[in-house]
Amino acid sequence: MLNEIKEVIKIREYAAVFALIFATTFLIYFALLLNSATGIIDFKGYYIYFDILSSITISFLLSLVITINIYAYRIRAKTSKGFSLGSIIGAILPSSLCCTSIIPSIMALVGFSTPFIVGNTGKIQSVFAIYGPAFIAAGAFIAFLGLIQITKSISSGCKLDSNKCCEVKNEDKN
């Protein structure tokens, strides 16, 4: 897996894509996690370190997966969009569903009564608040699975040579 990652990142164009995606996703995740104080219930005053670490981990893995997906798409290898989306959703869920009025709004839309909403919204929202770190860990794990899948896919395909042409490694696959 490391060899495939090195193979892609050593191409300047992909290194730039990786750096750009990493910087953007890190800023977004960090702002999102910090704003919703994700992890404060479990880690108290140390939650900021958790948020930094989570943002770095998720952004790093996700940037790699997306960059290698772009590479895989170019060389017509199998991509892993599902894992990328799964990872994004897993990482965003706690901050978007825990502390906003999205859940009660959905309950109202579905037609639940006010007493039901008041008495039950916490049962759903608390899951995202209390298990926020677990959702983030799941997001990172899904991104890691995506990374394994996509590197396997490109290693069985071909790699781009210095002229950005597909250098066939295994003729059966092409």
Partner 1 sequence: MRIKIKYIAYAAIVLISLSLILHFLSISSAKTSRYLAVGDTAPNYSFQLINGSTENISSYRGKPLLLWFVTTWCSGCAQGNTVLANNLAFFEEHGVKIIELEQYDDLGYSGMPISQFISEYGENNTYVQGGSAGYNMTIAYNTPPTLQLDIYYLIGPNGKILYMGEGLSSELNEIENTIIKEGL
Interface with partner 1 by CB under 8 A: which residues?
Answer: 35-41, 44-45, 47, 81-83, 85-86, 89, 92, 96, 98-102, 104-109, 114-115, 117-123, 125-126, 129-130, 132
Task: Check residue 39 and give left, alpha or beta (phi > 0: left; psi -120 to 50: alpha).
Answer: left
* Cβ-based nearer residue to partner 1, 14 or 50: 50
Supply the minimum distance, in Å, between the C-beta of residue 82 and partner 1. 4
Supply the minimum distance, in Å, between the C-beta of residue 102 and partner 1. 4
* Cβ-based nearer residue to partner 1, 9 or 40: 40
* Cβ-based nearer residue to partner 1, 19 or 27: 27
Query: Which residues, other chains included, contact 120 with Cβ-Cβ below 8 Å and sequence gap of 6+?
Result: 107, 112
Supply the minimum distance, in Å, between the C-beta of residue 9 and partner 1. 26
CA distance linking residue 85 with residue 107, whole number of Å:
25
Supply the minimum distance, in Å, between the C-beta of residue 84 and partner 1. 9
User: What is the secondary structure of 80-109 as a DSSP string?
Assistant: -HHHHHHHHHHHHHHHHHSSSSHHHHHHHH
